[in-house]
Every structure is written in structure tokens, then in C-alpha cells.
């Protein structure tokens, strides 16, 4: 009985003492050889300016809008790939920040996750285990009984910067370059916190990583939490991505524009800047997904509110006008359909998708991307 009362009122329950699976396992690091993934044969994707700066960073080291700068070091969409016959894989990570958010698991914001298999055939294996709030951690991601050549994809944290990363493999294990993607021309997505991956439970469930696996191609994630404002300097930087030429640009930043007016003011110029360097690359405008406040009362039929109607009309008009003026590679996709009819179930907070929502988005957008790339 005393135990009962104690656990009823005690505030210091240590979940790990009850369920060790809820805190993770001790790693065995003996005999591991630690390597830096900064050079070959490791392959990094998602950090276009890495060859120049040697930083896990999504934008170049130039003057950027403040919010974009703050998010530029967040490694959303970054992937490290390689092949090895190691039986074990561990990582040591040093993070630039480790914010604990109320609505996103630490594995999503600050963790890495591991997929095994060739590009396009990857299967999820494991996720980083670490103390929430840590900026340094070391953990084992794979331990197999048999040494055989395997292909590894490590997805980087979504809401944290990575200062340093080391890869621990069995001593003497081989290390080779990964298989190439089927198509090396990246899809570049510019957007908001939703594109950055808020609030996936782990990095592999960020939209760009899901699509990269499904479509066997690289994605460059330029989602900047709260900071997808459509600034011309961001467009100028995106336009620099030319080697290889992107297969598609997706602009999905409506949710961060404070007014229809600010979207109207930024989007034509943003497209114009991209077109200067990429005259024929397809560009897809995607409007905002539905938020839970759009759910009609009392089971009434869904009606677009004035705000959604206005934005929809604006975007379809811009695309129609520019297509009429000769830009046949400009397209529009209604974000209002991406999550399905039960869109409210797809988010953690009425705004940010959870894995369930990102899978829905991926399923809705994948055929559109395939068609645009194929037809170009």
C-alpha cells in the first residue's frame, strides 16, 4: 500500500527503471574504428554547398534573412550514404543546439535514423538513442551477426545543427561509395517548418526523405521554420543549384506569408529569378495544407474559407498568366488535398504533420512529381 501511495504522488518516476526500451540500450563500442564522413567514399546529399564550406549546412555562408540563417544549419533532409561489410555501426554526434520541443520527439529534432538497402529499396533499421537535450551523444545503430556488404543511409536531424559526426565501423571493415541514385538530378523544395520536417518522429519521415526513398533520387530540403517568406535573396541562392541541374523546383511557402498580399508580392519575382538560370526546369507551386481549424462545425460539408479561396485564386491565376505568357513548365498543386479528408488527424498540433501526415503528403505529391519530371 505504501508503494501504491508513493507512486501515486511521487514525481520522480524514472521510466527507464520500469521499461528499459523507453530509454535505450548501452552500446558496445569496443573494436570500432571511427571515421569522419567528410570525404570519399562517403556520399553526402542535401548540403549543396558542402564542397565549398565543409559544413553540414543547407545554405551557403552568405548574408541571409535572419530566420533563414538560423535554420540554415538545421540539417533537415541531409543524407549520408555508404557501403560496408561492417557488422556494427555506431555514430558519435556533436550538435549545435538541442532544443526540446513540446510537440516533436527528440529523435526527430536531434536524432539520426538508419536505413539499410540500396537507394529506392531502403528499409528502416534504427534511430539514435540519447538523453533528451544532449548536444553530444554516441550510440549504436546496427549490430548484425553476419558480415556482408550492406548499403547504409543515415538521415540527419531535422531541427538541430550538426557540428561534428563520426561513423564507427568494425575495425578492418570495408568501406565503399554507395550505389548512385537512379536519377541524380535533385528535386529542390523550398518551404516552411512543414517542409523542414516539423513534426516528424524521426528524420526518415520528413517529406523529402520519404520521397527520396520512394523515388530513388536526391532531394534538397530548403524548408525554413517560420522563415519561408519568398525573399529574392533566397531565390538567388536556390538558382545557384545547377550541378547537376535540378529535375524540379517546388515552392511551398504560402503558410509562412503573413498575408495574401505578401505572397502576391514575392512569388512572381521568386519565379522570375529561378527562371533566369533555369529557363525550362519545371517549377511546381504548392498551396498550404489544411489546418485543423478548417474543420467545419457539426459535421457540415467542408467549405473553403475566404482566405483559402483568395490564395487559391491568386496562385492559379499567377500560374495561368505565366503559362499563357509562354512558361509551360510552371505548375500548381492544391495543397488542400494533400492530407486527405481527415486532415485534422494528420497533425500533432493542428498545423504540423506527424509521420501519418507526411506519408499522406508523399503519396499525394509523388505521382505529380513523377509526371512533371517525366514530361520535361
| Interface stretch with a second copy, choices 40-48, 54-62, 215-223, 240-248 (CB under 8 A) | 54-62
* Residue 281: CB minimum distance to a second copy, A: 28
Q: Is the CB of 172 or the CB of 350 nearer to a second copy?
A: 350
Which of 239, 224, 204 has its CA nearest to residue 113?
204
* Cα separation, 322 vs 125, whole angstroms: 45
* Cα separation, 213 vs 215, whole angstroms: 6
Of 38, 101, 173, 337, the one binding a second copy by CB under 8 A: 101
Is 292 a binding residue for a second copy by CB under 8 A? The answer is yes
Of 179, 349, 363, 364, the one binding a second copy by CB under 8 A: 349
| Interface stretch with a second copy, choices 13-21, 165-173, 181-189, 331-339 (CB under 8 A) | 13-21
Is 8 a binding residue for a second copy by CB under 8 A? The answer is yes
Cell of 288: 498550404
* Residue 129: CB minimum distance to a second copy, A: 6
Hey, which residues between 209 and 228 contact a second copy (CB under 8 A)?
Answer: 225-227
Q: For the chain, first and last CA: distance in Å?
A: 72
123 beta partners: 116
Is 111 a binding residue for a second copy by CB under 8 A? The answer is yes
* Residue 60: CB minimum distance to a second copy, A: 10
Is 234 a binding residue for a second copy by CB under 8 A? The answer is no
| Interface stretch with a second copy, choices 115-123, 180-188, 309-317, 319-327 (CB under 8 A) | 115-123
Helices (H), 189-341: 193-196, 207-215, 232-239, 260-277, 306-324
Of 297, 300, 324, 374, the one binding a second copy by CB under 8 A: 297
Q: Is the CB of 77 or the CB of 246 nearer to a second copy?
A: 77
* Cα separation, 322 vs 336, whole angstroms: 22
Hey, which residues between 139 and 168 contact a second copy (CB under 8 A)?
Answer: 148, 150, 159, 161, 163
Q: Which helix (H) or strand (E) holds 197?
A: none
Residue 5 main-chain phi, psi, to 5 deg: -65, -40
Is 102 a binding residue for a second copy by CB under 8 A? The answer is yes
Contact call for residues 372 and 331 (beta carbons, < 8 A): yes
Query: Alpha carbon of 265 to those of 230, 259, 270: distances in Å?
Result: 9, 10, 9
Amino acid at each position: 500500500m505504501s508503494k501504491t501511495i508513493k507512486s501515486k504522488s511521487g514525481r520522480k518516476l524514472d521510466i527507464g527503471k520500469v521499461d528499459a526500451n523507453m530509454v535505450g540500450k548501452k552500446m558496445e563500442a569496443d573494436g570500432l574504428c571511427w571515421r569522419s564522413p567528410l570525404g570519399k567514399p562517403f556520399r553526402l546529399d542535401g548540403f549543396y554547398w558542402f564542397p565549398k564550406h565543409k559544413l553540414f549546412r543547407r545554405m551557403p555562408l552568405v548574408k541571409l534573412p535572419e530566420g533563414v540563417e538560423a535554420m540554415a544549419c538545421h540539417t533537415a533532409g541531409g543524407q549520408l550514404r555508404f557501403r560496408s561489410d561492417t557488422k556494427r555501426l555506431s555514430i558519435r554526434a556533436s550538435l549545435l543546439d538541442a532544443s526540446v520541443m513540446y510537440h516533436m520527439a527528440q529523435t526527430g529534432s536531434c536524432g539520426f535514423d538508419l536505413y539499410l538497402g540500396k537507394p529506392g529499396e531502403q528499409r528502416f533499421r534504427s534511430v539514435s538513442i540519447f538523453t533528451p537535450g544532449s548536444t553530444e551523444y554516441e550510440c549504436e545503430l546496427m549490430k548484425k551477426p553476419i558480415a556482408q556488404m550492406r548499403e547504409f543511409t543515415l538521415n540527419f536531424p531535422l531541427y538541430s545543427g550538426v557540428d561534428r559526426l563520426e561513423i564507427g565501423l568494425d575495425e578492418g571493415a570495408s568501406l565503399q561509395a554507395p550505389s548512385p541514385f537512379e536519377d541524380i538530378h535533385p528535386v529542390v523544395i523550398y518551404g516552411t517548418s512543414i517542409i523542414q520536417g516539423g513534426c516528424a518522429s524521426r528524420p526518415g519521415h520528413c517529406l523529402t526523405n520519404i520521397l527520396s526513398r520512394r523515388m530513388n533520387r536526391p532531394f534538397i530540403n530548403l524548408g525554413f521554420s517560420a522563415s519561408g517568406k519568398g525573399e529574392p535573396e533566397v531565390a538567388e541562392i536556390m538558382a545557384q543549384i545547377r550541378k547537376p541541374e535540378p529535375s524540379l523546383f517546388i515552392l511551398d511557402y504560402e503558410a509562412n506569408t503573413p498575408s495574401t498580399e505578401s505572397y502576391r508580392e514575392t512569388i512572381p519575382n521568386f519565379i522570375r529569378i529561378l527562371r533566369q538560370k533555369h529557363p525550362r526546369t519545371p517549377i511546381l507551386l504548392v498551396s498550404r495544407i489544411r489546418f485543423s481549424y478548417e474543420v467545419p462545425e457539426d459535421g457540415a460539408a467542408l467549405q473553403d474559407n475566404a482566405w483559402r479561396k483568395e490564395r487559391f485564386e491568386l496562385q492559379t491565376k499567377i500560374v495561368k498568366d505565366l503559362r499563357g505568357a509562354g512558361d509551360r513548365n510552371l505548375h500548381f498543386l492544391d495543397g488542400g488535398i494533400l492530407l486527405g479528408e481527415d486532415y485534422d488527424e494528420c497533425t500533432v498540433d493542428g498545423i504540423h504533420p506527424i509521420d501519418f501526415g507526411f506519408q499522406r503528403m508523399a503519396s499525394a505529391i509523388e505521382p505529380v512529381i513523377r509526371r512533371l519530371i517525366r514530361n520535361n
